[in-house]
A and B are shown apart, each in its own frame.
Chain A
Amino acid sequence: SNSVKQTGQITVSEGASVTMNCTYTSTGYPTLFWYVEYPSKPLQLLQRETMENSKNFGGGNIKDKNSPIVKYSVQVSDSAVYYCLPCRYGGATNKLIFGTGTLLAVQP
C-alpha cells in the first residue's frame, strides 16, 4: 500500500489559492520534493523542502505527517498533476514512494 497520500483532485477557479496535502510516514527526516506534471511534459521539480531536526518531531519517526504545498492566485496554466516525494538522503536504498498525485484543474 502507498504510505504517501494526496488528495485526488481539486477544481478551482482562476485567482483562487489552493492547498494540496501530502501525508506520509517516514523513518528519519526526509526532504520533501514536489514534482509537477504538466500535460505532455516530463515531470519537473516544483519545490524542495528539508524537514527540520528531531527536536521538532520528537524522535526518529514521522507518522502521518501532512506537509502541504500552497499555491496562490492560480492560473489555468497551473492545471497539472502534483506529486510529493518524501526522500531521505541515502534513502533511495529504500523504495522511493511518490504520493498518489493531486490533479489540479483550474477553470477560467
Chain B
Amino acid sequence: GAGVSQSPSNKVTEKGKDVELRCDPISGHTALYWYRQSLGQGLEFLIYFQGNSAPDKSGLPSDRFSAERTGGSVSTLTIQRTQQEDSAVYLCASSRTDGGEQFFGPGTRLTVL
C-alpha cells in the first residue's frame, strides 16, 4: 500500500478483555516497530521485528503484551487482560532496513474502561 496502515483506528474495551491491534507495513519493508504513546508521555518503544523475528522483546511492558509478524508483513500486537493503564495510542512503523527511516502509521487509540 501507499503507507503504513493500522486497524482499528479506535478501540474501546473493558478492563480484563483481550485486544488485538493490527499493523500493515509498507510493502517490501523488512523492519517493523511498535511504540506506545501515552497522554503526557513520549514514545515508548515496545518491540521491533526484522522479518518475522523479534530480536528484542524486553521493551514489552509486561507478559500480557505479545506481538507476532507473519510472512514478513502484517503484525499483530495482542494485549491480554487489559488494564486501564494500557490506555494509549499504539503506533506502528516500518522501515526498508533495520535502522533506516521509519514510516509511521496513524496509530490505534486504545481506551480501557
Contacts and interface: CB of A to CB of B under 8 A. Distances in A.
Interface of A: 2, 31, 33, 35, 42-45, 48, 83, 87-101
A100 B42 contact: yes
Given A83-B42, A96-B33, A98-B42, A91 B99 contact: yes
**Interchain residue pairs A-B with the least CB separation, the first 5:** A89-B99, A98-B43, A43-B104, A42-B104, A96-B45
Interface of B: 3-4, 31, 33, 35, 42-43, 45, 48, 50, 55-56, 58-59, 91, 93, 97-107
Contacts of A91: 99
B45 A2 contact: no
A5 to B, nearest CB: 11
B31 A2 contact: no
